[in-house]
Structure 1
């Protein structure tokens, strides 16, 4: 009988599902890291919310662990690379608490606009300071959405119902989808300049960390109100405190903080600041939804091998898995390459299959490729949610098959169309492993390594030596070096596997080399 540990508070309905399906379940909440390490080896499944943190040490001790289920969407408390290396599937429930979280953001907007917490405290203290609390209407104000996905879209819908004007910044939002939502798509600079209220609805990634930096906060309208019910770390908290004290920021409402539990924070005590203890998903309805979903998903996986809403494993049946596994790997990694190579709004993604792979069930492969494309900006995307998220953002996804492949036994090609044009990448399975075989129409043969450097340059003498010397001076060791070119003196690319990640300073130096067109640091 499989055993599951519930390590955070969960609706009793989840326990009932586990037991009805013949799974042994224990509830042990509030465990320290050491206590969790001591017991985790006895369990096949682990259920967490945001408090328990299955890091690499916990996963290393989990010798029998097969699946971690997150009751909710955010998985920044789970060490997904460590879980993947250990063969542990990580699942979340991406849609169970969307309405609840969106409603909390709207509630924060009202609280800030009418100073409700301070007015409540003053009134209950017997002060009756009616003239002190002069609020503002939300009607006709401009709401700036940073992130227009599932939750952001619900906030936009509610704000439009309040007769607000909504502008949205989201690299994945198409013009067509923006029109459908009733919002105006803008760049971040314009949003900062126009918004009376800014609310964030984006995951925390390398690209979104401190998206409201000190510099960007300074670009906002005087008196702007800022709401963050998404993820701590999206706003520079020190800079926000300074803005509240100076009066440039009119008010701020946070449900999430850079360090949680937030027993103390630089924002606490700031003027016109409202805080709640990560209550975004805390309604009876949301708790019930995510509890039921995570229990069903983990039960299905442990009893039948079915994978749903997995962030590190394809959704395939047990019968299909052996044949699809190598192609899933190349599709997802190739998608990750494509996603890291585009900076503009994605309009379309085409996934083409040639040769033997075209005869298989390619739907999981397309989902893996799409998840790879979207993941650089949407860290919590997975194979199940990727198609829905793409549709939500108006991204056209197409799939094609060709049973003949002129060079390779099987080939996967991903073409991404952005507002600036198209970029195409091809990969194959060679000697059992995924390989990059074409970039920008240039043939090459490169393995996917955890850290890579991409350089597009003109094929001129001395470039390789200059690049190698520059990497050596920076202490970056070269693991692999693969080249492709159109013709002598023409367009060329280098894909370099490196043991240390190149920093921004080194990338800028490489970009400054003669004949270099583009430089990117890649991670897989």
Structure 2
């Protein structure tokens, strides 16, 4: 009999489902890391919420662990690379608490607008300070939603119902999807200029970390109100405090913080700040939903080998796995490459399977491509929910098959149509079954992708390669491989460079300032 440990407080329905399925389960919430490390080796599955930290050290001690199930969305408390290296499936429940979190954001907006926490404390203290708590209406105001995915779109829907004007910033939000949910899609600076309220619903990525900072706050309307029920790292708290003190920001409502649990914070005690202790998912309904989902998913995996909402492995049978493995790596690279270089809203995706690839079970490959494409600006995206998310965002995904061998025995070509253009990237497997990129934007090249890559598009001019090499050399960046291609003499050219370490922002900017450069993107795989 397989055994599962529930190490965080969870709805009793999880235990019931495990036992109904014939899975032995122990509940041990509140353990110290040392206690967890000492016992984790006895279990096949670990069911957690946000308190347990599945660190590399814990995973190393988990000799029999096959699956970690997170009852909720965020997996910041799981070392996914370590779990993957150990062959442990990591899964979450991305849809179980979306409504609850969205409703909390709306509640925070009301509380902030009508001074409800302070007015409640004052009234219960025997005061009657009616004039002190003059509020503002939500009716007719403009709400700026940053991140219009699963939760953000629910917030937008509720705000439209309150007769607010809703504008949204989300690079992956198509105009058609924006129209469908009743929002106006804007660039970030336009949103800041127009919004009376700014509500954050985006994961932490390189492009969203510290997105609410002094520079961006200065672009906002005087008297703006900010709500954050997403991730604490989205806000530079010192910059927000300064803006609240100056009056440029009229108020803020926060459910998440840079450091949690937040026993102390520079924003605590301010009259124009409403705070809650990370309650976004804290409703009875959400707790039951995520507990049921994680127990069902983990049971299916442990007993049947079925994979649902996995963050680090594809949904594929044991028989298919050896054959599909190199194709999965190629699919992940194609999607990840396209996702990292695409800078505008995606309208459609076309995936062409040619030669040997056309005869495979391509469903997991397509899902992995879409996952890689959406991953740069979304958390909790996986090969199972990626097609659903793409559909919800109005992204049309099509596949085509051609079993004839043309230039290569096997080939996958990915074409992305955005609001401005259509671009394609193609890859193949060579005799060693290692993926190679063979065409980018119609330019032929042969490139193997490493962990750190630099992608540069430029006008083909003499001296450019030397200038680029000098910038990287001056920055102490070692070049592993250097791949070049061009359309024609003095036409558009591409450099795809494997480097030994991540580039600093200053080095990226130095490359961007070189003559004839059109686009610079540091890539990570």
Normalising by the smaller structure, the TM-score range is over 0.9
State the match for 1:365 in structure 2. Answer: 365
> Does the CA-based 8 Å contact 1:244-1:251 persist in structure 2?
yes
Quote how far apart the aligned CAs of 1:471 are. Answer: 2.2
State the match for 2:374 in structure 1. Answer: 374
Q: CA offsets, 1:371-405, max 9 Å, x none?
A: 10010111321111211211121111111111113
Q: CA offsets, 1:396-451, max 9 Å, x none?
A: 11111111131222111111111221111111122122221111212222222111
Closer/same/farther in 2, CA of residues 226 and 497 from structure 1, 3 Å limit: same
Whole-Å Cα distance in 2 between the matches of residues 475 and 83 of structure 1?
33
Matched, 1:330 2:330: yes
State the match for 2:293 in structure 1. Answer: 293
State the match for 2:465 in structure 1. Answer: 464
Quote how far apart the aligned CAs of 1:116 are. Answer: 0.6
Quote how far apart the aligned CAs of 1:226 are. Answer: 1.1
Q: 1:9-28 residue pairs with structure 2 within 5 A?
A: 9-28=9-28
* Worse overlay, 87-96 or 459-468: 459-468
> Does the CA-based 8 Å contact 1:471-1:477 persist in structure 2?
yes
DSSP 3-state at the match of 1:494: strand
State the match for 1:304 in structure 2. Answer: 304
Whole-Å Cα distance in 2 between the matches of residues 33 and 153 of structure 1?
37
Whole-Å Cα distance in 1 between the matches of residues 38 and 206 of structure 2?
33
Whole-Å Cα distance in 2 between the matches of residues 279 and 432 of structure 1?
48
State the match for 1:510 in structure 2. Answer: 511
Structure 1: any 5+ residue segments left out of the alignment?
none
> Does the CA-based 8 Å contact 1:306-1:318 persist in structure 2?
no
Whole-Å Cα distance in 2 between the matches of residues 516 and 243 of structure 1?
37
Quote how far apart the aligned CAs of 1:343 are. Answer: 0.8
Quote how far apart the aligned CAs of 1:308 are. Answer: 0.7
Whole-Å Cα distance in 1 between the matches of residues 457 and 179 of structure 2?
36
Q: 1:452-491 residue pairs with structure 2 within 5 A?
A: 452-491=453-492
* Worse overlay, 77-86 or 354-363: 77-86
Quote how far apart the aligned CAs of 1:216 are. Answer: 1.1
Quote how far apart the aligned CAs of 1:139 are. Answer: 1.2
Q: 1:236-251 residue pairs with structure 2 within 5 A?
A: 236-251=236-251
TM-score (norm 2): 0.96
Whole-Å Cα distance in 2 between the matches of residues 139 and 147 of structure 1?
22
- Aligned pair count? 524
Quote how far apart the aligned CAs of 1:488 are. Answer: 4.7
Whole-Å Cα distance in 2 between the matches of residues 191 and 487 of structure 1?
40
State the match for 2:107 in structure 1. Answer: 107
State the match for 2:217 in structure 1. Answer: 217
State the match for 2:125 in structure 1. Answer: 125
State the match for 1:435 in structure 2. Answer: 436
Q: CA offsets, 1:287-318, max 9 Å, x none?
A: 11111111111111111211110111112233
> Does the CA-based 8 Å contact 2:485-2:493 persist in structure 1?
yes
Whole-Å Cα distance in 2 between the matches of residues 21 and 348 of structure 1?
41
Quote how far apart the aligned CAs of 1:489 are. Answer: 4.3
Whole-Å Cα distance in 2 between the matches of residues 267 and 418 of structure 1?
40
Whole-Å Cα distance in 2 between the matches of residues 292 and 325 of structure 1?
31
Structure 2: any 5+ residue segments left out of the alignment?
none
Whole-Å Cα distance in 1 between the matches of residues 149 and 470 of structure 2?
44
DSSP 3-state at the match of 1:132: helix
Q: CA offsets, 1:8-41, max 9 Å, x none?
A: 1111111111122222222222222333222222
Whole-Å Cα distance in 2 between the matches of residues 156 and 514 of structure 1?
43
DSSP 3-state at the match of 1:376: helix
> Does the CA-based 8 Å contact 2:6-2:29 persist in structure 1?
yes
> Does the CA-based 8 Å contact 2:37-2:61 persist in structure 1?
yes
> Does the CA-based 8 Å contact 1:307-1:317 persist in structure 2?
no
Quote how far apart the aligned CAs of 1:187 are. Answer: 1.4
TM-score (norm 1): 0.97
Q: CA offsets, 1:172-197, max 9 Å, x none?
A: 11111111111111111121111111
> Does the CA-based 8 Å contact 2:74-2:379 persist in structure 1?
no
Quote how far apart the aligned CAs of 1:517 are. Answer: 2.9
> Does the CA-based 8 Å contact 1:7-1:52 persist in structure 2?
yes
Quote how far apart the aligned CAs of 1:362 are. Answer: 1.0
DSSP 3-state at the match of 1:368: helix
Quote how far apart the aligned CAs of 1:492 are. Answer: 2.7
Quote how far apart the aligned CAs of 1:335 are. Answer: 0.2
Whole-Å Cα distance in 2 between the matches of residues 194 and 460 of structure 1?
43
Whole-Å Cα distance in 2 between the matches of residues 74 and 522 of structure 1?
23
Quote how far apart the aligned CAs of 1:487 are. Answer: 4.0
Whole-Å Cα distance in 2 between the matches of residues 125 and 291 of structure 1?
39
DSSP 3-state at the match of 1:268: coil
Quote how far apart the aligned CAs of 1:461 are. Answer: 4.3
Whole-Å Cα distance in 2 between the matches of residues 107 and 492 of structure 1?
52
State the match for 1:60 in structure 2. Answer: 60
Whole-Å Cα distance in 2 between the matches of residues 76 and 415 of structure 1?
32
Quote how far apart the aligned CAs of 1:325 are. Answer: 2.0
State the match for 2:416 in structure 1. Answer: 416
Closer/same/farther in 2, CA of residues 129 and 188 from structure 1, 3 Å limit: same
Whole-Å Cα distance in 2 between the matches of residues 333 and 432 of structure 1?
14
